[in-house]
Amino acid sequence: MAAIGQEYCGLCGRNTGPYERRDGRCGECREQRVPLSGLVRVGAHKGLLRRMVLDFKFRRGPIDRTLGRLMVAALQGTPWHRQLDAVVPVPLHWFRRLERGHHPTRALAKVVGSALRLPVVEVLRRTRYDRPQVGLSRPQRLENVRGSFAVVRGARLEGVTVCVIDDVTTTGATLAETARTLRKAGVAHIYAAVIAKGESTQTA
Protein backbone atom coordinates (compact mmCIF):
# COMPACT_ATOMS: atom_id res chain seq x y z
CA MET A 1 0.00 0.00 0.00
CA ALA A 2 1.29 3.44 -0.81
CA ALA A 3 -0.21 6.89 -0.36
CA ILE A 4 1.58 10.20 -0.55
CA GLY A 5 4.66 8.35 -1.65
CA GLN A 6 5.39 6.33 1.49
CA GLU A 7 5.08 2.56 1.66
CA TYR A 8 3.27 1.15 4.69
CA CYS A 9 1.96 -2.01 6.27
CA GLY A 10 -1.54 -2.90 5.04
CA LEU A 11 -2.68 -3.98 8.50
CA CYS A 12 -1.26 -1.51 11.04
CA GLY A 13 -0.31 1.38 8.76
CA ARG A 14 3.23 1.91 9.94
CA ASN A 15 5.91 2.98 7.48
CA THR A 16 7.82 0.05 6.03
CA GLY A 17 10.42 -0.56 3.40
CA PRO A 18 9.34 -2.71 0.44
CA TYR A 19 11.34 -5.74 1.64
CA GLU A 20 9.92 -5.62 5.17
CA ARG A 21 6.45 -6.62 4.03
CA ARG A 22 5.12 -10.00 3.07
CA ASP A 23 1.52 -10.23 1.78
CA GLY A 24 1.35 -6.49 2.42
CA ARG A 25 2.00 -6.81 6.16
CA CYS A 26 4.94 -5.98 8.39
CA GLY A 27 6.82 -8.46 10.58
CA GLU A 28 5.00 -7.34 13.73
CA CYS A 29 1.59 -7.89 12.16
CA ARG A 30 2.63 -11.32 10.88
CA GLU A 31 3.50 -12.29 14.45
CA GLN A 32 0.46 -11.03 16.28
CA ARG A 33 -3.17 -11.70 15.51
CA VAL A 34 -4.63 -8.52 14.08
CA PRO A 35 -8.42 -8.70 13.87
CA LEU A 36 -8.53 -6.52 10.73
CA SER A 37 -8.52 -7.78 7.16
CA GLY A 38 -6.75 -4.65 5.95
CA LEU A 39 -6.10 -1.00 6.67
CA VAL A 40 -5.65 2.06 4.53
CA ARG A 41 -4.25 5.41 5.59
CA VAL A 42 -3.76 8.79 3.97
CA GLY A 43 -0.29 9.31 5.47
CA ALA A 44 1.95 9.37 8.50
CA HIS A 45 0.85 11.52 11.45
CA LYS A 46 3.37 14.32 10.99
CA GLY A 47 3.93 17.64 9.29
CA LEU A 48 1.05 19.17 7.38
CA LEU A 49 -1.22 16.15 7.71
CA ARG A 50 -0.80 16.18 11.49
CA ARG A 51 -1.76 19.85 11.63
CA MET A 52 -4.78 19.23 9.41
CA VAL A 53 -5.92 16.38 11.66
CA LEU A 54 -5.59 18.58 14.75
CA ASP A 55 -7.68 21.30 13.10
CA PHE A 56 -10.19 18.72 12.00
CA LYS A 57 -10.61 17.19 15.45
CA PHE A 58 -11.78 20.44 16.96
CA ARG A 59 -13.37 22.40 14.14
CA ARG A 60 -15.94 21.54 11.56
CA GLY A 61 -15.37 23.01 8.13
CA PRO A 62 -14.03 22.56 4.62
CA ILE A 63 -11.20 20.50 6.06
CA ASP A 64 -13.73 17.69 6.66
CA ARG A 65 -14.27 17.36 2.93
CA THR A 66 -10.58 17.68 2.10
CA LEU A 67 -9.55 14.93 4.49
CA GLY A 68 -12.59 12.87 3.51
CA ARG A 69 -11.62 13.05 -0.16
CA LEU A 70 -8.05 12.04 0.64
CA MET A 71 -9.45 9.05 2.50
CA VAL A 72 -11.69 8.19 -0.45
CA ALA A 73 -8.68 8.30 -2.79
CA ALA A 74 -6.72 6.02 -0.45
CA LEU A 75 -9.64 3.59 -0.28
CA GLN A 76 -10.05 3.56 -4.05
CA GLY A 77 -6.45 2.37 -4.28
CA THR A 78 -7.25 -0.83 -2.38
CA PRO A 79 -8.40 -4.09 -3.94
CA TRP A 80 -10.95 -4.52 -1.14
CA HIS A 81 -13.03 -1.33 -1.29
CA ARG A 82 -15.47 -2.94 -3.74
CA GLN A 83 -16.28 -5.65 -1.21
CA LEU A 84 -17.55 -3.19 1.38
CA ASP A 85 -21.22 -3.16 2.38
CA ALA A 86 -21.05 -0.18 4.77
CA VAL A 87 -18.80 2.24 6.62
CA VAL A 88 -18.78 2.46 10.42
CA PRO A 89 -17.41 5.56 12.16
CA VAL A 90 -15.60 5.00 15.44
CA PRO A 91 -18.02 6.55 17.92
CA LEU A 92 -17.19 9.53 20.06
CA HIS A 93 -18.33 9.49 23.65
CA TRP A 94 -21.31 11.83 24.14
CA PHE A 95 -19.26 13.89 26.59
CA ARG A 96 -16.57 14.56 23.97
CA ARG A 97 -19.26 15.31 21.40
CA LEU A 98 -20.77 17.95 23.68
CA GLU A 99 -17.39 19.34 24.51
CA ARG A 100 -16.37 19.71 20.88
CA GLY A 101 -19.73 20.15 19.16
CA HIS A 102 -18.28 18.12 16.34
CA HIS A 103 -18.09 14.43 15.50
CA PRO A 104 -15.01 14.05 13.29
CA THR A 105 -15.25 10.36 12.40
CA ARG A 106 -18.92 10.75 11.47
CA ALA A 107 -18.03 13.68 9.21
CA LEU A 108 -15.35 11.57 7.49
CA ALA A 109 -17.65 8.58 7.17
CA LYS A 110 -20.29 10.73 5.46
CA VAL A 111 -17.84 11.92 2.81
CA VAL A 112 -16.60 8.37 2.23
CA GLY A 113 -20.11 6.90 2.22
CA SER A 114 -21.42 9.33 -0.34
CA ALA A 115 -18.36 9.02 -2.62
CA LEU A 116 -18.36 5.21 -2.56
CA ARG A 117 -22.16 4.91 -2.37
CA LEU A 118 -22.09 3.03 0.87
CA PRO A 119 -24.40 3.44 3.84
CA VAL A 120 -22.93 5.01 6.97
CA VAL A 121 -24.04 2.76 9.81
CA GLU A 122 -23.50 4.04 13.33
CA VAL A 123 -23.75 0.65 14.94
CA LEU A 124 -21.05 1.12 17.55
CA ARG A 125 -21.44 3.02 20.78
CA ARG A 126 -19.04 3.81 23.59
CA THR A 127 -19.87 2.03 26.80
CA ARG A 128 -17.72 4.30 28.93
CA TYR A 129 -15.56 7.35 28.98
CA ASP A 130 -12.02 6.00 28.57
CA ARG A 131 -9.02 7.56 30.12
CA PRO A 132 -6.79 9.03 27.41
CA GLN A 133 -4.51 6.57 25.60
CA VAL A 134 -1.61 9.01 25.49
CA GLY A 135 1.60 7.65 26.99
CA LEU A 136 0.36 4.06 27.26
CA SER A 137 2.07 1.05 25.67
CA ARG A 138 0.18 -1.17 23.22
CA PRO A 139 -0.70 -3.83 25.86
CA GLN A 140 -1.84 -1.05 28.23
CA ARG A 141 -3.92 0.51 25.47
CA LEU A 142 -5.52 -2.81 24.59
CA GLU A 143 -6.40 -3.25 28.25
CA ASN A 144 -7.66 0.34 28.49
CA VAL A 145 -10.08 -0.01 25.56
CA ARG A 146 -11.23 -3.57 26.29
CA GLY A 147 -15.01 -3.63 26.54
CA SER A 148 -15.36 0.07 25.75
CA PHE A 149 -17.53 -0.49 22.65
CA ALA A 150 -20.83 -2.23 22.13
CA VAL A 151 -23.06 -2.77 19.13
CA VAL A 152 -26.32 -0.83 19.29
CA ARG A 153 -29.42 -2.85 19.96
CA GLY A 154 -31.20 -4.21 16.91
CA ALA A 155 -28.26 -3.86 14.49
CA ARG A 156 -28.23 -6.67 11.89
CA LEU A 157 -24.64 -7.30 10.94
CA GLU A 158 -24.38 -11.02 10.17
CA GLY A 159 -22.09 -11.72 7.24
CA VAL A 160 -21.49 -8.12 6.17
CA THR A 161 -18.15 -6.52 5.26
CA VAL A 162 -17.48 -3.11 6.78
CA CYS A 163 -14.81 -0.45 6.92
CA VAL A 164 -14.27 1.24 10.29
CA ILE A 165 -13.38 4.92 9.97
CA ASP A 166 -11.09 6.70 12.41
CA ASP A 167 -8.99 9.85 12.23
CA VAL A 168 -5.72 8.68 13.79
CA THR A 169 -4.39 5.30 14.82
CA THR A 170 -1.24 4.84 16.87
CA THR A 171 -0.94 1.34 18.32
CA GLY A 172 -4.17 0.17 16.66
CA ALA A 173 -5.73 -0.73 20.02
CA THR A 174 -8.98 1.16 19.39
CA LEU A 175 -9.40 -0.32 15.91
CA ALA A 176 -8.65 -3.80 17.24
CA GLU A 177 -11.32 -3.40 19.92
CA THR A 178 -13.94 -2.11 17.45
CA ALA A 179 -13.10 -5.08 15.20
CA ARG A 180 -13.45 -7.51 18.09
CA THR A 181 -16.85 -6.01 18.98
CA LEU A 182 -18.09 -6.11 15.38
CA ARG A 183 -16.85 -9.67 14.91
CA LYS A 184 -18.81 -10.79 17.97
CA ALA A 185 -21.90 -9.24 16.38
CA GLY A 186 -21.43 -11.40 13.30
CA VAL A 187 -19.58 -9.06 10.90
CA ALA A 188 -17.67 -11.22 8.41
CA HIS A 189 -14.83 -8.90 7.36
CA ILE A 190 -13.59 -5.73 8.99
CA TYR A 191 -11.34 -3.26 7.22
CA ALA A 192 -10.21 0.12 8.50
CA ALA A 193 -9.48 3.54 7.03
CA VAL A 194 -7.65 6.26 8.92
CA ILE A 195 -6.31 9.65 8.02
CA ALA A 196 -3.01 9.24 9.79
CA LYS A 197 -0.85 6.63 11.45
CA GLY A 198 1.10 7.95 14.42
CA GLU A 199 4.13 6.47 16.07
CA SER A 200 3.41 4.98 19.49
CA THR A 201 5.44 7.69 21.19
CA GLN A 202 3.23 10.45 19.73
CA THR A 203 0.13 11.82 21.33
CA ALA A 204 -3.41 11.38 19.90
Note the residues at the interface with Zn ion (CB under 5 A): 9, 11-12, 26, 29
- Smallest gap from Cβ 25 to Zn ion, in A, equals 5
Toward Zn ion, which CB reaches closer, 37 or 150? 37
Residue length, the chain?
A: 204
CB 162 within 8 A of CB 182: yes
Maximum Cα–Cα distance across the chain: 46
- Closest by alpha carbon to 42, among 168, 163, 134, 199? 168
Give the Cα separation of 120 and 114 in Å (integer): 9
- Smallest gap from Cβ 14 to Zn ion, in A, equals 6
Toward Zn ion, which CB reaches closer, 12 or 118? 12
- Smallest gap from Cβ 178 to Zn ion, in A, equals 17
Toward Zn ion, which CB reaches closer, 29 or 121? 29
Give the Cα separation of 117 and 111 in Å (integer): 10
Toward Zn ion, which CB reaches closer, 18 or 154? 18
Toward Zn ion, which CB reaches closer, 20 or 122? 20
- Smallest gap from Cβ 97 to Zn ion, in A, equals 31
- Closest by alpha carbon to 149, among 170, 104, 119, 179? 179
- Closest by alpha carbon to 195, among 51, 98, 80? 51
Toward Zn ion, which CB reaches closer, 133 or 169? 169
- Smallest gap from Cβ 31 to Zn ion, in A, equals 9
- Closest by alpha carbon to 137, among 173, 92, 181? 173
CB 35 within 8 A of CB 183: yes
- Smallest gap from Cβ 15 to Zn ion, in A, equals 10
Write the DSSP string, 112-130: HHHHHT--B---EEESS-P
